[in-house]
Structure formats: C-alpha cells, structure tokens
Structure 1
Amino acid sequence: MSSVPERSEIDAEYKWDLESIYATDDEWEDAYEAVSERLDDLRDYEGRATEDGETLLAVLELRDEIMREVSQIVSYARMRKDENTADQHYQGLATRGMSLSSDASSAASFIEPEIQSLDREELDAMVESTDGLGEYDHYLDDVIRMSDHTRSAEVENVLAELGEVTGAAGDIYGMLLNADMEFPTVEKPDGEAVEITQDNLTTLLKNPDREFRETVYEGFFDRLGEMHNTIGTAYENSVKADVKLARIRGYDTAREAAMDGPNVPAAVYDNLVDTVRDNLDKLHRHAELKRASLGVDELRMWDVYMPMTETETPEVSYEEATDHVVTALDALGDDYQSRVADGLDSRWVDVYETQNKRSGAYSAGTYDTQPFILMNWQDDISSMFTLAHELGHSLHSQLTSEAQPYVYGDYEIFVAEVASTVNETLLTHHLLETVEDPTFRRHVLNEYLERFRSTLYRQTMFADFEHQAHQVVEEGGALTPQKADEIYGDLKAEFYEPAVVDDRIAREWSRIPHFYRAYYVYQYSTGISAAVALADRILEEGEPAVEDYRRFLESGSREYPLDLLDIAGVDMSSPEPIQRALDVYDEYLDEMETLVRE
C-alpha cells in the first residue's frame, strides 16, 4: 500500500533550514519574551508621536524594529506548524505568535491616526527638518491617503485586538481540511492503494484510467460534501467579517476596502473579469480540444485535468527539475541565476509531502531571514513549474530586502504574482527551445496551457464567485452553502460550457483556501497577464528589459503597484496585457491542436 512518509523519513537536505531563524525552540521563547517586553516602550509614545520630527522618527523606527522581530517569531512558528499540522506543540506556538502579532499591532495602532491628525504642510515641514524621516516619505503619503478610512486610536486599537478573531474562520477551515479530515483510500488500476489528499488529487485526476478518475473525483467531493455545512458556515462568517470591517472603515463594499489598501483601482478588477468573459470561446476551444484528444463523447469534470497527451506525465525528479529551472533563468542574468542555484543548495526548500504536512506550496520568510519554500513534490512537470513559481516569489523577497529599508521591504500581492509567473514563462520557453523528446515537449506545452487555464481563467472565475458571494451578504442575503453552490455551479457551467457540469463540482469552492483572503485570487490572473508581457520583453530586448525588471524587483513597496509595473514596462490600468495573454494562450492552443490532430 502506498502511504505518505513520516517527516523523520526525509533526509535533511530536502527539508528547509528553519534552524537558521532560531536554532531551538528555547531561542524562539527568548525572542518572544524580549519583544513582548518592548511593546510598552512603543505604547509610551501614544499621544505624542507627532509632537516633532525627531519623536515621529523615533516611534517609526521602534515600531519597525519590533515588527521585524515579531515577523520572525510568527513565521518560524507557522512554518513549524505547517510541517505537521497535527502537532499540538507547534499549533500552540503558532497561536501565541499570532496573538503577539495582534498585540504588537494594537500597541502600534495609535501611530497612523496621530499622523493623520496633521495636514500635509505640517508633515512636510517635519520631513524637511529631520534627518532620516525622508525615508518614510512614501509611507507617510500612503497614511495620509487612507485618512478617510482610519478610525480613532481607540477604535484602531480595538480592531487590532480583534485581528486574530476576525480571521478565525480561515484558521478553522485550514485545520479542518489539513489536520482533521481524512479522504478515502482508492485502489489504482495496477492494484496499488493510495490515499486521496488535497495535494495528490490533481495528480490522481490525471490517471489515464477514466473509471479510476471518476472514483477519485466522487470519493473526494463526497467526503467534502459531508462537511458542507461546516465549511459553508466558516466561509459565510469569513465573508461577513470582510463586509463588517469594510463598513467600519467607511467603505461601501468589501471589494472597495480590499483594493484601496494597495491603491489598485476597481476598474482593474472589472477589466479582468470583462476581458476574460469576452474570451471564453478560447477556453471552450481548449475544453473541446481536450474532449477530442481523450476520444470521449462528453468531457466530464473528472476529465478536466487530463493532459492532451497519450502518456502519463514523464517523471521529473527534484534534481532534474532544479537543473531545468536554474538553466531557464539565465535570461534574467548571472546574478539572478546564481542566487537561485545557491538558494536551492542552502535548504530553502521543504520538498516532499509528509504526514499531516500543510497542503499546497508557498514562499515564506521575513526581511531578516533567507527565503523558505514549502512544496509537496509529486515527481511531475507540474511540480517543476510550481518550484519555478515559488522561486520567483523568493527572489523578489530577497532582492527587495537587500535594496529597501524595512518599511518598504515587502510588496503587495498584486505585484507578487508577476515575479512568480515570469519564471514559469521563461521555464516554458527554455523547455520548448531545448528539449527534443517529443513526448516531453508535448507535456510541457500541455502544462503551460493548463496553467493559463487554471490561472487566467479559473482564478478569474474564482474572483467572480467571491465578488458575487460578498454581494449576497452586502445586500442582506444569507450566504448558505446551497447559495454558494448555486453561484459557483452557474459560473462553472458558463466557463466550461462544452463540458458536463454535475452537482458535485458545484461544491468545489469549499476546497479553495484562498477564499479566506478577501479579493486575493484576481491577482493571480492580473499577475500572469503582466508576466507574459514582461517575459516577452525580456526575451526580445535582453539586458535593457532585464535591468527594468530588476529595478521593479528591488523596489518593494516604495511605489504603488501600478507604478511599479510601469517601471518594468507594463500598463495594468489597461485591458491590453490581459488580452495579450489570452492571445498567447490561443497561439499555444493552435500549436497543441496541430499535435493532437496529427
């Protein structure tokens, strides 16, 4: 019987090096106690933060010092918990870390309301007369910009204290799916038994045996359906929290609140949804091409992940994948490429799926640490692309941290998905240019088409779903599990028109953890659109384009997202990059259709 290994069975070279943050849990405890004691030092500035420029600078620097340490405490505990979501000790550390983060936010909550009590002229005078305060100029502009939606210091303190409570629905959902729920074990066509997990579901749905795929599909979604009401209640409360917090801050909608933070116009969201909807014929063409390649009368939901190839995906070991990825990133220059290679040799990556490990993949780390990447490696082309994706995030973080002060040492999600998808695009180009094996090439082309489908189309569909879900609550309706099914099922039928949409797939929304971060998923779609334009420019123009892209990666949050992308050479206020990406998708469909019809 196939089983997911215990963590102790994995060699150290395939585990991330969390000891580089804190060598022991005792060191974590010491750091926790030390920063906890500094919170009162921050609170002592309340009521006098803006009495003069020197005081304002002092309080901002103290806040940044505290938050830098808090971020390390939280990150270490969270990643330890993610190694084994059933580990009670690290669940406890993660909970304490989040509480500390909430306390720190509460202690600092007076700062921005006090800054907003000044007019721009007073603030400018402080900046001009105080050495070092000018470094905070863009930050101060952003604080003033948000004046109409910042509440009194007392209210801000209460909101900060409630932070971990308002996010509880997502935490409960995560524990339910990652630690408590067990999905069925099914017998593969060769007789091997395998347990369905969140991570291997897609891989199992690529098995050539259609009856087996149907068994996997029904088993997974039927088990998910047993928790339908629980998950539905968690999601409804998450949406309610989004709506109520937006109203408390004076926004008309949760979308307005979510997009105002990074200063992204709502028109960007609407451009995306409208442009993708206008191009659903391309997705329908992909679905019909897939049906023809499979030789079936109807495309069913358990067929959607099947590659348009005659064989299972070639096995790609982790070592083979790292070689391909490093070589592909030569287009971004020697320094970028060597950083990736060094990181892979320095235990940035926690590679393999293990018992109770958090599902999915992500890039993590803090301003003061090396990057860390969580993977659940499946020995396939998809895992290779995921590794390239997460390395894009990691290099973006590393370059930003080195080039920017802490206040600008992070970046908005809107631009984060650009760096990750540029890496995917360059990997695709490299593989199609250099790999001669026709089977491998066809799988690479299929993988890239699937990433277009799952990123540009599927994430836009997700974005449409969550916007409609929030509108139900904003209009006073009840977002029951059945209502969520109705919204999602209608969208699935529209987006996948040539396929048969059954009742089970209407529950698919309940397996998407990103819905617990309001208005997050659309940025995957805008990200791939910007990335296609940037990768094309890098490959066509070479060094000048690489230099602009590097400046973008090093800028962190020193500018607003649309301004940062303008530095790199793309205008996301226009639907043009989205349409360009959709046209590239269509071009790749042409190539795949030729292969399928041969």
Structure 2
Amino acid sequence: MSSVPERSEIADEYMWDLTDLFADDEEWEEAYEDVEERLADLEAYEGRVTEDAETLEEVLELRESIMREVSNVAAYARMRKDEDTTNQTYQALAARSQSLAADASSVASFIEPELQELDREAIDAFVDENPELETYEHYFDDVLRMKPHTRSAEIEALLADLSEVTGAAGDVYNMLTNADMEFPAVDDPEGEPQRVTLSNFAKLQKHPDREFRQRVYEAFYDEWSEFRNSVGTAYKNSVKADSKLAAARNYETAREAALDGPNVPIEVYDTLVDTVEDNLDVLHRHAELKRDCLGVDDLKMWDLYAPLAGGESPEVDYEQAREYVIEAVAPLGEAYQERMAEGLQSRWVDVYETANKQSGAYSGGTYDSQPYILMNYQDDITSMYTLAHELGHSMHSELTSEEQPYVYSGYEIFVAEVASTVNEALLTQHLLETVDDEAFRRHVLDEYLERFRSTLFRQTMFASFEHRAHELSEDGEALTPDRLDGIYHDLKSQYYDPADVDDRIAREWMRIPHFYRAYYVYQYATGISAANAIVERIDEDGEEAAADYREFLRSGSRGYPLELLKTAGIDMSTPDPVESAIDAYDEMVGEYESLQ
C-alpha cells in the first residue's frame, strides 16, 4: 500500500519555518498573555473615540497594534495545527487563538459605531487638525458607508462574541473531513492498494486506467454517503448562520451582506452567472473533446479529470517546478521575479503531504511575518500550477505589506484571486513557448483548459448552487441532504450536458469546504476573468501594463475592489472580462482540437 510519510521524515528545507512568527510555543504563550492584558487598555477608550483628533489617532493605533499581535498568534496556532490536524495540543492552541480573536473583536467593537456618530464634515475636520489621520481616509469612507448596517456598540460586541459559535459548522466540517473521515484503499491496476485521501483524489482521477478511476470515484463518493446527514446538518446550519447574521445587520439576504462587505454590486454576481450559463456550449465543446480523446462512447463523471493528453502527467519534481515558475513571471519585472526566488529559498513553503496534514493548499502569514504556503505537492503538473497560484497570493501580500500601512494590509478575496491566476496564465505562456517536448506541451495545454474549466465554469456552478441553497433557506424551506443533492445534480446536468451525470456526483457539494464561507467561490471565476484580461494587456503593452498591475498589487485594500482593478485597466462592472475569458478558453479548446 502506498503510504503517506510522517512529518519527521521530511527534510527541513521542504517545511515552512514558523520561527519568523514565534521561536517556540513558550514565546507564543507570552504573546497570547500580552494581548489578553492589553485588551483592557483598548477597552478604556470606550465612549472617547471622537473626543478629539489626538484621541482618535491613539485608539486606532492601539487597536492596530493589538490586532497585529492577535493575527500573529492565530496564524502560528493555525499552521501548527495544520501540520497535523490530529495533534490535540495545537488544536487547543488554535481554539484559544480563535477565542482571543473573538475577544479582541468584541472589545474593539465600540470603535466604528462611535465613529459613525460623526458625519463626513466632522471627520474631515479631525483630519485637518491631525494630518496623521490622513492615512485613514479610505478607512473612514468605508466605515461611514457601512453605517446603515452597523448596530449599537452593545450588539456589535455580542455579534463579535458569537463569532466562534456562528462559525462552528465550518469547524465541525473541517474536523470531520480532515481528522475523522478515512477513505478506503483501492487496488490499482497492478493489484497494489492505494489509499484515497482528500489531497490525492483529483490526482487518482487522472490515472490512465479507466476502471481504476471508476473504483476510486465510487469508493470516494460512497464514503461521503456514510456522512451525508452530518455534512448536510453542518451545511444547513452554516447557511442559516449566514442569513441570521445578515438580518442582524439589516440586510435582506446573506448574499447582499456578503457582497456589500467588499462593496461589490450584486449585478457583478448575476452578470457572471448569466454570462457563463449563456456560454455553456464552450464547456460542452471541451467535454466532447475529452470524450473523443479518451475514445469512449459516454463521458462518465470519473472521466472528467482524465487528461486529454492521455497517460499520467509528466513528473515535475518540486525543484523543477520552482525553476519554471520563477522564469514564468519575468514579464512582471526583475524585482518581482527576484523577490519570489528569494522567498522560495527562505522556506515559505510547506511542500509535501504528510500524515494527517491539512488537505489542499493556501497562502498565509501575517503583516509582520514572511508569507507561508501550505501545499501537498504530488510531483505533477497540477501541483506546479498550484505552487504558481499560491505564490501569486504570497507576492500580493509581500508587495502590499511593503507599501501599505497595517490598516490596508489585507485585501478582499475578489482581488486576491486575480494575483494567483495571473501567475497561472504566465506559467502557461512560458511553458508553451519554451518547452519542446510535445507530450509535455499537450499536458500543459490540458492543464490550462482544466484550470479554466474548474475555475471559471465549475466555480460559477458552485456559486449558482450556494445561491439557490441560501434562497431556499431564506424562503423557509428545509435544506435536507436529498434537496441539496437534487439542486447539485440538476446543475451538474446543465453544465455537463454531453456527459453521463450519475447519482453519486450529486454528493460532490459535500466535499467543497469553501461553501462554509458564504458567497466566496464566485470570486475565483471573476478572478480568472480579470487575470486573463490583465495578461492580455501585458502581452499587448508590455512594461506599461506590468507596472499598472504591480501598482494594483501594492494597493492592498486602499480602495474598493472594482476601483483597484481599474488601476490595472480592468472593468469588472461589465461582462467584457468574463466574455473575453470564455473566448480565450474557446480558442485553446480549438488549438487542442487542431492537434488531433
């Protein structure tokens, strides 16, 4: 049986170095206790926020100092837990850090309601009196914008206190799927049992042996069926929490609340779904191409991940992947390229899958630390693209932290997914231009098509699913597992019309962790659309467009998402970027067809 290595078997150079945050758990404890003690200092400002310009600056700076340390405490605990999700010591640290974050948010919750007692003229007078407050101009604008949806200081404190409870469904789901569920082993074509995991399922679905893919597919989704009531209950309560929290802030729906946070108009969401669903014929063309390349009469659900190129992915070890990705970002400028290379040498990345490690991949870290990337690298082309993707996030964070004060150091997911996908597009261009091996090139082109399929079309399908689920719940209808299966099966049948959509695939919604972050997934689809348009600009205008893009990356959250994207020359208020992305996808499908 193939085995997943223990963490102790991995060389240090392939593991992230968390000492940039804390040298050890003892230092973490000291920071935790320091934050706890300092909360009283912040609490002492309640009722005094708008006393005068100097006091306003003091309270904002104190809050930022505390929240920076809370962020460090939470990041360290989370990443230690993610190294081994069964480690109860770090489960406890993560739980304590979540409680600390909730306490800090609760204590600080009086600040914005007090600010909202002022009007724009009064805030401008404070800025004139104390020029240090000019830094907060966009922040003040955002606070005043949210006045209709901000409650009294008492209710804001209560909502902050309840954050752990309202997020409990996602925590339960995460522990169930990463620590408690164990998928079966399936015999490969050589008769060797292969353990199926959340991390390797997609890779196993690319195996050239169709019967093996089918066995993996059936075993995987049959295991989910054993937990359908638990997962269904978790998701039902997550949806209810979304809607209840929205109502508490005077929104009519969870979607309205989720999109108003980053100030993204509802029309952007609807335009995305409508534009994609009006162009499903392009996705159907890709599905028909896959059916023909595989030489099968019916495209089954266990065929969807199988490569057009045939056979397993060419092996790409981690060192080669790093080299390719660094070379690929050359159009973004020498300084960008060198900073990325330095980061990869500085143990930003926790590379390989190990026993009980958190599945998937993400880019983390804090304003005060280096970026950190969790991966489960599988020595294939897909993993190379995932590395490029997460490095896009990390470089976005690096450039923002270097340029912006802490108040703007974060950035909305709506723009975050642009940076990651620009890197993917540049990697595709680089590999197709520089690699001569025809089999490798076919796999790269296939990877590009699969990422477009799974990011633009699949994530839009997910967006449609979660919106329908929320609408039903908000209309008072029960979200049973059967009902959710039915919604998902109908959508899968619509999106993959040329394929044989069986009953097992109706459970796919159960394995999507992003559904526990309300109205999150659509931003992958808008992100790839914007990224495609940015790369087209760089191809046409060279350094001028690259400079605009770097300026966008350095802006952090000092502006609303649609405004920031206009810095890079992209207008997401129109369907143009989505239509352009679909055209690019269609062109690549045609290019692959020409190779047949």
TM-score by length of 2: 1.00
TM-score, structure 1 normalization: 0.99
Q: How many residues get paired?
A: 596
CA deviation map 1:318-346 (0-9, x unaligned): 00100100000111110000011000000
1:192 Cα deviation (Å)? Answer: 2.4
Which amino acid in 1 is paired with 2:354? Answer: T
Q: Distance in 1 between matches of 2:67 and 2:382?
A: 36
Q: CA deviation at 1:358?
A: 0.4
Deviation at 1:357, TM superposition (A): 0.3
Identity of aligned residues (%): 67
Find the counterpart in structure 1 of residue 405 from structure 2. 405
- Is residue 2:33 matched to residue 1:21? no
Amino acid at match of 1:81: K
Aligned to 1:109: 109
Query: For residue 30 of structure 1, what is the amino acid of its counterpart?
Result: E
- CA shift for structure 1 position 309: 1.2
**Retained in 1: the 8 A contact 2:466–2:515?**
yes
The aligned residue for residue 506 of structure 2 is 506
Determine the structure 1 residue equivalent to 2:434: 434
Partner of 2:351, secondary structure, is strand
Counterpart of 1:320 in structure 2 is: 320
What does residue 126 of structure 2 align with? 126
1:370-519 superposed matches below 5 A? 370-519=370-519
Specify the alignment match of 1:249 in structure 2: 249
Contact 2:268 2:572 in 1 (8 A): yes
Match of residue 569 from structure 2: 569
**Aligned mates of 1:172, 1:370 — CA distance in 2:** 30
Distance 2:120 2:543 in 1: 40
Give the structure 1 partner of residue 540 of structure 2: 540
Partner of 2:42: 42
- Name the residue aligned to 2:162: 162
- Counterpart residue type for residue 541 of structure 1: D
Tell me how large the CA RMSD over aligned residues is: 0.6
Q: Measure, in 1, the Cα distance between the counterparts of 2:141 and 2:261.
A: 13
Match of 2:140?
140
Q: For 1:532-562, what per-residue CA distance to the aligned partner results, in whole angstroms no more than 9, with x for missing partners?
A: 0101111221111111111100000001000
Paired residues of 2:174 and 2:513 also in contact (CA < 8 A)? yes
Q: Distance in 2 between matches of 1:493 and 1:307?
A: 21
1:288-336 deviations in Å (ceiling 9; x for gaps):
1100111111000000000001321100000010010000011111000
Q: Give ranges in structure 2 of 5+ residues lacking alignment.
A: none
Q: Which residue of 1 aligns with 2:76?
A: 76
Structure 1 stretches of 5 or more lacking a match? none
- Runs (4+) of structure 1 exceeding 4 A deviation are none
Counterpart of 1:334, as a letter, is: E
1:520 paired residue number: 520
Deviation at 1:19, TM superposition (A): 1.5
Q: CA deviation at 1:208?
A: 1.0
Equivalent position SS for 2:500: coil
CA distance in 1, matches of 2:546, 2:301: 41
Rounded Cα–Cα distance in structure 1 between residues aligned with 2:190 and 2:415 = 45
Which sits farther off after the overlay, 303-312 or 220-229? Answer: 303-312
Displacement of 1:120 after TM fit? 1.4
Q: How big is the shift at 1:191?
A: 2.5
Aligned to 1:59: 59
| DSSP-derived class of the 2:506 partner | helix
The one-letter code of the counterpart of 2:457 is Y
Q: Post-superposition shift, 1:194?
A: 1.3
The 3-state SS of whatever aligns with 2:302 is coil
Q: 1:131: how far off?
A: 2.7
Q: Deviations over 1:361-408 (max 9, x none)?
A: 000000000000000001100000000000000000010001000000
Which stretch shifts more, 531-540 or 451-460? 531-540
Partner of 1:229: 229
Aligned 8 A contact 2:207 2:311 in 1: no
- Which SS does the other structure have where 2:329 is aligned? helix
1:510-548 CA deviation, whole Å, 9 max, x = no partner? Answer: 000000000000000000000001011112211111111
Distance 1:102 1:67 in 2: 11
Tell me what 1:591 maps to. 591
Q: Are 1:94 and 2:94 counterparts?
A: yes
Give CA deviations for 1:230-287 in whole Å, capped at 9, x if unaligned.
0000000000000000011110110000000000000000110000001000000111
1:579 aligns with 2:579: yes
- The one-letter code matched in structure 2 to 1:534 is I
**Cα distance, 1:421 vs structure 2:** 0.2
Matches of 1:155 and 1:473 in 2, distance apart? 24
Aligned-partner residue type, residue 77 of structure 1: A
TM-aligned CA deviation for residue 118 of structure 1:
0.9
Structure-1 separation of matches of 2:588 and 2:552? 28
Paired position in structure 2 for 1:365: 365
Could you tell me how far apart the structure 2 residues matched to 1:13 and 1:594 are?
Answer: 43
Report what 2:291 is aligned to: 291
1:211 paired residue number? 211
Deviation by residue 1:62-97 (Cα, 9 ceiling, x = unmatched): 000000000000000000000000000000000000
What SS does the corresponding residue of 1:302 show, helix, strand or coil? helix
> Distance in 2 between the 1:261 and 1:128 partners?
28
- Note the C-alpha offset of 1:505: 0.4
Secondary structure at the residue paired with 2:368? coil
Instruction: Using the TM superposition, give the Cα deviation of residue 461 of structure 1 relative to its aligned residue in structure 2, in angstroms.
Output: 0.1
Give the secondary-structure state (helix, strand or coil) at the position aligned to 1:132: helix
Residues 206 and 306 in structure 2, CA contact (< 8 A), matched pair in contact too: yes
Which runs of structure 2 are paired with 1:195-206 in the superposition (5 Å)? 195-206=195-206
The amino acid that maps onto 1:109 is S
Classify the secondary structure of the residue corresponding to 1:47.
coil
**Cα distance in 1, alignment partners of residues 558 and 291 from structure 2:** 48
